[in-house]
Structure 1
């Protein structure tokens, strides 16, 4: 399959590398330093069992998506509309666009700007960019995608490439569940500059996470989304599965970049306000991360 990855950060590069290793024609679309490194040496994929250079194409231009049967959108949530506008002239009528992004509304925002079929995916993977052209995997790696034209074929392709993928009608609830996990961990990991394993051992952290989860559950219910009862246990147990992982928000702040906090805790605050649901824990975490971002310029 011909596949383009729009936004070749840690998530995009990881999935692109596995698909390329499985024999698909993959093009990463990303930042110049990353693209230059991939063009020169291939993408270094480092996991617990692999450390390989994966040859694949790379470009800084969205035009590189022309001719792709599948486009994975992996940009930050704040760049969703800009990515859709940049891709639009280069997509075929039947190109499947799949959002592999944090947050709960990116697929809807893509659909508002694209005529092509768009599917949402829930990404369960811990990765980081260890440098230009170098992605490091820390844990998990499965996908959940919503039904869309071609979704079943894409799920089979991903699974065969080592990315266990399931097509599910429950993607919206899964997106809200993942949002809740991110709201519990991302800001705290960023503010403390701690990986999950050390973070959860600090006094008071577990209680703050419980408050965040309770607020997310209340807002989701107001949105008509019922979160699973076992979500609290999933949040509590996440650190054990990814002890060395820094949140994506922490990685952004450590690199001096804007994070997706407006689409994580910030989204919960905004939706809570719309429904009259109080969200004080999420509001404090959102505000503190924005203060750190503003201080960094």
Structure 2
């Protein structure tokens, strides 16, 4: 917070954001970070005035100076819905099957369920006004990129 204060961000409003980090818990207190897509996406929940835009840019600069991949989203609600679809699909299939990603990828029935979960989650997002045209391919790609033992 000191770096944010130094950047002139004394009274930041809370802003929604998404953390992207794939990890496995190996043991109590031991976390293994997987994949290269480690980043923070954030933005304003409402209409962004010039003052809020300046604050958000200052936050982004502080994060980037700390070697954090930070992205300011023009439509953070859309970004949140995209993340919801990913979580619902992946957590749904791993929870239902109690299997890691590698076993799911190799099982035709599990992959069918996974695609259906992704489709249903995307329909919910669309019903809420968030069209995510490529989310199904993105989620399927994630399942194929992550470590086989990921849950």
Give the TM-score band, short-chain normalised: 0.7 to 0.9
Alignment map for 1:142-291 (pairs within 5 Å)? 142-147=39-44, 149=52, 150-227=55-132, 229-244=133-148, 246-247=150-151
Taking the aligned partners of 1:192 and 1:201, their CA distance within structure 2 comes to 13
Maintained 8 Å contact 1:129/1:136: yes
Report Cα offsets for 1:199-222 as digits up to 9, x if no partner: 222221221122222222222222
Question: Secondary structure, in 3 states, of the residue corresponding to 1:172?
Answer: helix
Deviation at 1:125, TM superposition (A): 1.0
Taking the aligned partners of 2:121 and 2:71, their CA distance within structure 1 comes to 25
Taking the aligned partners of 2:113 and 2:131, their CA distance within structure 1 comes to 22
Partner of residue 30 from structure 2, selected from 117, 134, 159: 134
Taking the aligned partners of 2:138 and 2:60, their CA distance within structure 1 comes to 24
Q: Does 1:123 align with 2:19?
A: yes
Deviation at 1:118, TM superposition (A): 0.9
Taking the aligned partners of 1:156 and 1:242, their CA distance within structure 2 comes to 29
Unaligned runs of 5+ in 2: none
Matched length: 138
Deviation at 1:244, TM superposition (A): 4.2
Q: Normalized against structure 2, the TM-score is what?
A: 0.76
Q: Normalized against structure 1, the TM-score is what?
A: 0.41
Maintained 8 Å contact 1:184/1:212: yes
- Residues 245, 170 of structure 1: alpha-carbon distance in 2 compared, 3 angstrom cutoff: farther
Maintained 8 Å contact 1:145/1:167: yes
- Residues 158, 195 of structure 1: alpha-carbon distance in 2 compared, 3 angstrom cutoff: farther
The residue number in structure 2 matching 1:57 is none
Report Cα offsets for 1:19-69 as digits up to 9, x if no partner: xxxxx7xxxxxxxxxxxxxxxxxxxxxxxxxxxxxxxxxxxxxxxxxxx96
Unaligned runs of 5+ in 1: 3-23, 25-67, 70-92, 97-116, 248-297
- Residues 162, 232 of structure 1: alpha-carbon distance in 2 compared, 3 angstrom cutoff: same
RMSD, aligned α-carbons: 2.5
Report Cα offsets for 1:261-286 as digits up to 9, x if no partner: xxxxxxxxxxxxxxxxxxxxxxxxxx
Maintained 8 Å contact 1:127/1:136: yes
